[in-house]
Structure 1
Amino acid sequence: MFFTRNREKPPLELIREELKKKSKQPVLPQKLTKAEGVLLEQIRVKTEEHNLNNVTRTKAYLEFYLQHPEIHWAFLGHMVSRNGGWNMTDLKGEFLTRLLSKKERETFFAFLERGNWLIFQDVYPQFLLYKESLRQNKPLFHLCSCLNISTFMETIWNQFWLKQESYILAIALVINEQSYLEQRVVQNPLYQKGVLNKFEFILQDLLSFNHILFPYEKRNLAGQTLHQFESLHERILLGKRLYSVLFKNKERLKQVLEWAMAHPHTGSRKDYWPHIFNNVNEGNPGFAYQTRLKACQLRPRARKIYSPALENAWKNVSQMEAEKGDWFKNDRVVDYLIENHEKMDGEIKNEYCKTLERLELAAIAKKAISILD
């Protein structure tokens, strides 16, 4: 075990030193004991069991957090994964079925699902290694490389084992997951051509895909908005802001957690705003579409907006094995672990309401244009 001699040094300095040392050392194959081999297989099987779809992943994150509240990312990941599910079902909901073709929506879903799947199959084995380390009362993070987990996270987990710095671990996981996705999804030519270039305007300026929402009591929402999805730097900074919104306000954290426990994730936006959304389509085919929203309320006698549950929107997808390779190249990423003590307000309800209204108007305009054509 490392980190033991210089415990008086600041955690980030120790992390940086260890990463510099590791970057100069070749990664050699490990000789595993029989028990370690069995453990790794158990971790792979359990991860696969929970990695069926967005709902099973999201549930697994929350269950782990309730058992290990010191692992803050598990709850942050749960809430962000809920948003991923809402984005997926939007593709079969009221507005996007009018704005995008069937092929476009299927391509967009494949993009969202691949990212959601990849993150889970990377981070959940880390959680299970931590759980087993606690059970055995010794760190087992030397096994990270056997699970294709970055040397960056192996270093962070060993530091966490000694220092229990929840903030450092949470932000390190933000860095890790976003860096892990960068080449596999964001820079993947398939998604660059089929999703990011094609839907850039829709993603950034029109839809609610760039809003991350944390619902809590009395239909309130907190969260943040991402304006440059293709920037790894911006996605990491967003993760840091989301962490602040969720964990720096203890009362709000309590309220968001209570909401999450009381509202199992289905993928439908009805989960948080049943006064506006319904997982049953109340529409009548052939009737002219009229505006129904005003200031986040339905107009009198207006029917609710259709937002299906995930199980009714998309079938489970069998994914190809994750691409191998460690994203970690140099220790500059440690700078992201420096804590910013600025408090984030997180107010997003008004912005989200305006987005919904723009989305509705865009759907009406697209329908009008198609009729004229």
Structure 2
Amino acid sequence: MVFKFITNKQHPLSKSQKTIKRMLLSKELVAKRELSVDDLKLIKKIKNETALLNKNNVTRTLGYLDFYIRHPEIHWAFLAHMVSRNGGWNMTDLKGGFLTKLFTKKESQAFFNFLERGNWLIFQDAYPQLLVYEESKRKRTNLFYLLPHLHISFFMETIWNYFWREPDKRLLTIALIINEQNYIEKRVVQNSAFQKNVLNTLEFTLQDILALNHILFPYEANGGIQLIGQTVHHFNSLHERILLGKRLYSVLFHDLERLHSIEKWAKEYPHSGSRMDYWPQLFHYVNEEVPGINLTPRIISCSIPPRSPRIYSPKLEYSWKDQKHDPAERGDWYKDWKIIHTLTASHDHVDGEIKDDYCKTLEKLELATITKKVLSPFQ
């Protein structure tokens, strides 16, 4: 799919964009470099390390964080870590206190397959790029000629070569956002099975209407948990997903003091997939509900009365088994140098305030489960 540029007016190219354009145009006819024995060993090592960490959402999410700790100049790694945490929470929600009452087992399985495939694909594409950068940094030599042999897009090979010369952290982050969303466009979003079983279903539409697709960045401040983030709308739109990624990057890295608080939280609370990781007063990985019919709303302004059961949010290891994936579909999404017009940061002011909206969403979810129980008491 050729990327469609949705914009009223394309601004003149910046100096960096002009350089990247020249690199994209001049390198298109360059053949793959012949690899040495050491190169082949390194590629095998990278593939093995990627496969080891790509077992499930928890291992992937940890992989991103560990890399960011080693190389904090690669902002995308921390953004990927935090977004991947949200992916894990969405996966366990499907087995948690609300969605198990709203979805059938078949629907939950379809939603999980969709989330898991996207999470797996992005990691197996992005993490080898990070490891090639790490090895290039260690050896103090450019090794990005290895990227085509790892089936990485020509666009990202060009961007990494530019970054090696001009370490523009923001540009690299936005390029990786563009890459990951284009990478999953045909493989996941336009996949006919996912379209039929997930994206075109009433449940997915309701998630959009009810704003259930919150991406949350927790941190501790003022004596309690704070949440910033964004809400996903129009997931089917590649353009909108890229804009969302830019906004999330802005929310996460704009305020350095807040960024350090989020980093501190992420390091102190290992990702388990349970929302209890960030809000134990509201969620618990043990199901505290007493079997029977509970028709009384308990969530008010993101608090639960004393002695009331918390929202069930299981850990990933108890929710879903590790999946065996088919190999990633081959093919380079990059077709046109004009993609560089999207290499600009979000200029919208994004404060990221989301806690109130998220609290209202939880109240809606609880009301929906109670309503369904009333209307279908024997289901």
TM range (shorter): over 0.9
Q: Which of 127, 132, 136 is equivalent to 1:133?
A: 136
CA drift of 1:162 comes to: 0.8
Aligned residue number for residue 367 of structure 2: 361
SS in 1 for 2:228: strand
Given the alignment of the two structures, is residue 188 of structure 1 paired with residue 194 of structure 2, yes or no?
no
Conserved in 1, the CA contact under 8 Å of 2:294 and 2:370? no
Aligned residue number for residue 20 of structure 1: 25
Aligned residue number for residue 270 of structure 1: 276
Give the aligned residue type for 1:53. N
1: CA distance, partners of 2:180 / 2:349: 24
Q: Deviations over 1:59-87 (max 9, x none)?
A: 01000000000000000000000000000
Give the aligned residue type for 2:209. D
SS in 1 for 2:377: helix
SS in 1 for 2:152: coil
2: CA distance, partners of 1:84 / 1:76: 12
2: CA distance, partners of 1:29 / 1:164: 24
Give the aligned residue type for 1:219. I
1: CA distance, partners of 2:80 / 2:294: 40
CA drift of 1:29 comes to: 4.7
CA drift of 1:28 comes to: 3.9
Given the alignment of the two structures, is residue 68 of structure 1 paired with residue 76 of structure 2, yes or no?
no
CA drift of 1:31 comes to: 2.1
Given the alignment of the two structures, is residue 206 of structure 1 paired with residue 238 of structure 2, yes or no?
no
**Residues 114-193 of structure 1: matches in 2 within 5 Å?**
114-193=117-196
Aligned residue number for residue 88 of structure 1: 91
Aligned residue number for residue 237 of structure 2: 231
Aligned residue number for residue 105 of structure 2: 102
**Residues 244-323 of structure 1: matches in 2 within 5 Å?**
244-323=250-329
CA drift of 1:13 comes to: 1.1
Q: Percent identity?
A: 55
Conserved in 2, the CA contact under 8 Å of 1:212 and 1:224? yes
Conserved in 2, the CA contact under 8 Å of 1:16 and 1:331? yes
Q: How many residues of Structure 1 are paired with residues of Structure 2 in the alignment?
A: 362
Cα distance change on mapping 1:230 and 1:332 into 2, 3 Å: same
Which deviates the most, 297-306 or 353-362? 297-306
1: CA distance, partners of 2:125 / 2:171: 18
Give the aligned residue type for 1:215. P
Give the aligned residue type for 2:110. T
Give the aligned residue type for 2:313. S
Aligned residue number for residue 7 of structure 2: none
Q: Deviations over 1:61-117 (max 9, x none)?
A: 000000000000000000000000000000000000000000110111010000000
1: CA distance, partners of 2:338 / 2:359: 38
Q: Deviations over 1:277-297 (max 9, x none)?
A: 000000111243421101111
CA drift of 1:227 comes to: 1.0
Aligned residue number for residue 11 of structure 1: 16
Aligned residue number for residue 47 of structure 1: 50
Conserved in 2, the CA contact under 8 Å of 1:20 and 1:330? no
CA drift of 1:372 comes to: 7.4
2: CA distance, partners of 1:305 / 1:87: 14
2: CA distance, partners of 1:182 / 1:37: 30
CA drift of 1:341 comes to: 4.3
Conserved in 1, the CA contact under 8 Å of 2:151 and 2:330? yes
1: CA distance, partners of 2:376 / 2:31: 60
SS in 1 for 2:40: helix
Uncovered stretches (5+) of structure 1, i.e. residues with no partner: 1-8
Aligned residue number for residue 333 of structure 1: 339
Uncovered stretches (5+) of structure 2, i.e. residues with no partner: 1-13
Given the alignment of the two structures, is residue 58 of structure 1 paired with residue 46 of structure 2, yes or no?
no
Conserved in 1, the CA contact under 8 Å of 2:121 and 2:328? yes
Give the aligned residue type for 1:11. S
SS in 2 for 1:213: strand
Aligned residue number for residue 5 of structure 1: none
Conserved in 2, the CA contact under 8 Å of 1:149 and 1:326? yes
Which deviates the most, 354-363 or 182-191? 354-363
Which deviates the most, 260-269 or 298-307? 298-307
Aligned residue number for residue 243 of structure 1: 249
Which deviates the most, 92-101 or 30-39? 30-39
1: CA distance, partners of 2:86 / 2:237: 19
Displacement over 6 Å in runs of 4+: none
Give the aligned residue type for 2:207. L
